[in-house]
Chain A
Amino acid sequence: MLSGIIKGFATKIAQHLLSQNSWVNAMLQPFAGKSVQFNIAMLKTSVVILEDGSLAIAGETNTPDAIVTIPASLLPRLLAKDEAAKMQIAVEGDTHLASELAKVLGNMRWDYTEDLSRVIGDVPAHKASQFVQSASSKVKETSINLAEMLSEYWQEEKPMIAKKRVVEKFNVDVDTLRADAARFEKRLSKLEKLSAK
């Protein structure tokens, strides 16, 4: 029953986001009445598409038309917008529905300036969102610089991480060794057959 309260709250958030992204309604309307279950790490939730194209959290006994599973290990890569990670998302059932919904959810934006302006007014909200944007871009930039610095240190000064070209060379060497071993095995079995005759 506690989940009901959480669901109600989640529905409110989803509907608020949708009201800010009304373009999604037209895209989702053809799928009205269908639902998708998202299994994201430990979290399991189903979203249903309503007849006006809006989204709501599904009820207690909903049977999903599609299931999207995103393992926890994939989340950091998805947040970093790694395109290769998207290919590893598992989709069961109506894949067209799931991919459309994922596309829509991926492009939805929270207009927090608009929400904030209702509380503190337009100008302070604009200033605050500018500050947040500039602060977040500074944090991102600093994080990248720090990561690059550490990676360089651990590769060059105190080698703890293998360099990309070294890993690639190692992979090529392994492939060559695997091919050589396979050839050797074949030759050996050929010789065994000959000696048996």
Chain B
Amino acid sequence: MTKDNNTHFGFKTVPETEKAKKVSDVFHSVASKYDLMNDVMSAGMHRGWKKFAVSISGVKSGDKVLDIAGGSGDLSKLFAQKVGNDGQVILTDINASMLSIGRDRMLDAGINVSALQCDAEKLPFPDNHFDCVIVAFGLRNMTHKDAALREMQRVLKVGGRLLVLEFSKVWAPLSKIYDAYSFKLLPLMGKLFAKDAASYQYLAESIRMHPDQEALKQMMTKAGLTKVDYYNLSAGVVALHKGYKT
């Protein structure tokens, strides 16, 4: 096996063919407690980050929105309110366990959102179809991030926006505290609340291996997006990148 066929799975190096399966196992494992853990890990801040992403999206009534790796459907729910009855929101995830939780939640809330299991690197949608594509806390788990970004760009209409909400590089003075939190406290919380320390160890490691703000901006530009800009949220713990298809 050549070095080129390997990729990162947290701090480990694994064959590319195995990453998707390993990521899938992590999310099958955490699916039932995913929202609880998000609230515990971020002290509820993930809700604010998602609301900020929706407010920056510029999505209006009648728009078509694609929520990639949408899992439990938090963003789809917010976007469904924005697009109204004339618009459309499609919730997708590669992981069936996560998607079924999101789909059931939408049905229970009486929200009309289609749920579709698909791979972000091979999106089953025509070119120039969506006004907005969003991927929140999902890009870092993808094996070929560049291919996924190209696909997202392909399905966007001209003038459409890609929003990437993802963990990023924290403000330098806070990095020591953040490391201690990620590698000591996070797995411990995973063990206590979700009975799964290993999965949360992976989450912490995958955040560190993910490209920082500038690197992701370059990747989005390379994928064909223009006017790429980003917002640092909570001192850079999370960054929201926004790029246009022109």
Contact = CB atoms under 8 A, between A and B. Distances in A.
A106 to B, nearest CB: 23
Given A32-B58, A50-B56, A59 B235 contact: no
A59 B242 contact: yes
Interface string B101-131: 0000000000000000000000000000001
B232 A60 contact: yes
Interface string A123-154: 00000000000000000000000000000000
A11 B171 CA distance: 20
Instruction: Pick the 10 closest A-B CB pairs, nearest first.
Output: A51-B58, A50-B58, A1-B171, A59-B229, A52-B60, A4-B232, A1-B235, A59-B231, A62-B229, A59-B230
Contacts of B58: 32, 50-52, 54
A32 B56 CA distance: 12
Interface in A89-133: none
B52 interface: yes
A3 to B, nearest CB: 9
A56 interface: yes
Interface in A49-80: 50-52, 54, 56, 58-63
Given A4-B236, A33-B244, A61 B230 contact: yes
A5 B228 CA distance: 20
A54 B55 CA distance: 9
A85 to B, nearest CB: 32
Given A8-B233, A32-B159, A59-B240, 14 more contacts: A1-B232, A1-B235, A4-B231, A4-B236, A5-B235, A8-B231, A33-B227, A51-B161, A52-B60, A54-B58, A56-B55, A58-B229, A61-B217, A63-B227
A58 to B, nearest CB: 6
A96 B171 CA distance: 38
16 contacts: A1-B171, A1-B235, A4-B231, A4-B236, A8-B231, A8-B233, A15-B55, A48-B229, A50-B58, A51-B57, A51-B60, A51-B161, A59-B242, A60-B231, A61-B217, A61-B229
Contacts of A48: 229
Interface residues of B, number: 26
B230 A33 contact: no
B197 interface: no
A51 B56 CA distance: 9
Given A60-B232, A61-B230, A8 B59 contact: no
Contacts of B141: none
B135 to A, nearest CB: 17
A71 B233 CA distance: 31
B153 interface: no
A109 B227 CA distance: 31
Contact of B213 (A7, A32, A51, A60): A60
Interface of A: 1-2, 4-5, 7-8, 11, 15, 32-33, 48, 50-52, 54, 56, 58-63
Counting chain B CB atoms within 10 Å of each CB, which of A2, A5, A7, A52 scores highest? A52
Nearest to A4: B232
B235 A7 contact: no
A60 B171 contact: no
Contacts of A15: 55
A33 B159 contact: yes
Nearest to A51: B58
A52 B59 CA distance: 6
Interface in B218-246: 227-233, 235-236, 240, 242, 244
Given A33-B244, A52-B59, A4 B235 contact: yes
Nearest to B60: A52
A97 to B, nearest CB: 14
A51 B233 CA distance: 21
Contact of A51 (B59, B227, B240): B59
Contacts of A50: 56-58
A8 B52 contact: yes
A69 B213 CA distance: 29
Interface string B42-83: 000000000010011111100000000000000000000000
